Structure 1
């Protein structure tokens, strides 16, 4: 079950790709990872919408979405969190969805390509 799945309704008809990543639900739009949804009992301070972005955009996003903060459990500097317990959670989700639909540079990061494994050539 995907937590906070109402964000997916807000993003209709965009074709998002869903992937499990470290036990959370990651979503991609075109070539970018745009957000992750997390709802777990452990470290529940970090439950909510994890927004894929760049550090340069944090202040601009904080001006548009109340209560954004850094993720506590992982030292990920570029991602930013809209906590599920925020009084502005639904309002923030609306703004995130709008930014994604507008293809805003503030939301979404092109993941680094995976390194290819070397073939074992020893006999």
Structure 2
């Protein structure tokens, strides 16, 4: 069931609106930005620790991104991705830097999304039939 709650952080994705490959999708009660088919950023406007911007990346890229943006840290639950909480004083600056990196197709940001499980004609996942 779609959520009727609006995400106050959707402004983050305004920078992507002119990119023809940009797609926004709901993900775990948050909103995700895809560019060129890669999952890049997740704007989470929920309770801690899901209140801020998650950067979809790999652990091998953490050090380089943190060196450029010290406000970033591994997400406390989803440690493979980096995170900047909304209450961090550097939040807006980090958002600007990260959206610029995404638009420049920086290889440190973005992961291949896992394929969605297909549903059968009955609407039930195949493992429930």
Among 7, 14, 37, which residue is 1:9 paired with?
A: 14
Residue 47, structure 1, aligned to residue 47, structure 2: no
Residue 20, structure 1, aligned to residue 22, structure 2: no
Q: Which runs of 5+ in 2 are unaligned?
A: 1-5, 119-125
Per-residue displacement from partner, 1:63-102 (whole Å, max 9, x unpaired)? Answer: 1112211222x2x232110111111111101110111011
Q: Which residue of 1 aligns with 2:36?
A: 30
TM-score by length of 1: 0.82
The 8 Å contact of residues 52 and 108 in structure 1, kept in 2 or not, is answered as yes
- Cα separation, 1, equivalents of 2:117 and 2:10: 32
The 8 Å contact of residues 13 and 33 in structure 2, kept in 1 or not, is answered as no
- Cα separation, 2, equivalents of 1:91 and 1:99: 12
Q: Which runs of 5+ in 1 are unaligned?
A: none
- Cα separation, 2, equivalents of 1:2 and 1:119: 32
Q: Which has the higher contact order (CA 8 A, sep 6+)?
A: 1
Is the partner of 1:103 in helix, strand or coil?
coil
Per-residue displacement from partner, 1:22-50 (whole Å, max 9, x unpaired)? Answer: 1111111121011111111x3x2431001
TM-score by length of 2: 0.78
Aligned residues: 116
